[in-house]
Amino acid sequence: MKKTESYKSYMKSPYVSFKHTTYFDSYDSFFSTYKGKDITFVEIGILDGGSLFMWRDYFGANARIIGVDLNPEAKKWENEGFEIYIGSQSDRDFWREFVVDVGDVDIVLDDGGHTYSQQIITTESLLPHIKDGGLIVIEDTHTSYMQGFGDMDFSFIEYVKEHIDKINLRFGKFENGIAEKRIWSIEVVESMVAFKVNRAATELVSKPIFNIGSGTRAKDFRFEDENALMEVNQIFDKEKPKEEITLQQLESILIDLKFKNPEMANRLKNLLD
| Contacts to ligand SAM by CB under 6 A | 17-19, 43-48, 50-51, 68-71, 88-90, 111-113, 118
How near is the Cβ of 175 to ligand SAM at its closest, in Å? 39
**Choice between 54 and 183, CB closer to ligand SAM:** 54
How near is the Cβ of 209 to ligand SAM at its closest, in Å? 46
**Choice between 149 and 184, CB closer to ligand SAM:** 149
d(CA 131, CA 150): 30
d(CA 70, CA 46): 9
How near is the Cβ of 88 to ligand SAM at its closest, in Å? 4
How near is the Cβ of 49 to ligand SAM at its closest, in Å? 7
- What stretches of the chain adopt beta strand conformation (E)? 40-44, 64-69, 83-86, 105-110, 130-139, 183-189, 192-197
**Using the 8-state DSSP alphabet, how is residue 165 labeled?**
H
**Choice between 69 and 180, CB closer to ligand SAM:** 69
**Choice between 42 and 130, CB closer to ligand SAM:** 42
- The contacts of residue 85 (CB under 8 Å, 6+ apart) are 66, 67, 68, 94, 98, 101, 102
**Choice between 143 and 155, CB closer to ligand SAM:** 143
Strand, coil or helix: what is 270? helix
How near is the Cβ of 210 to ligand SAM at its closest, in Å? 51
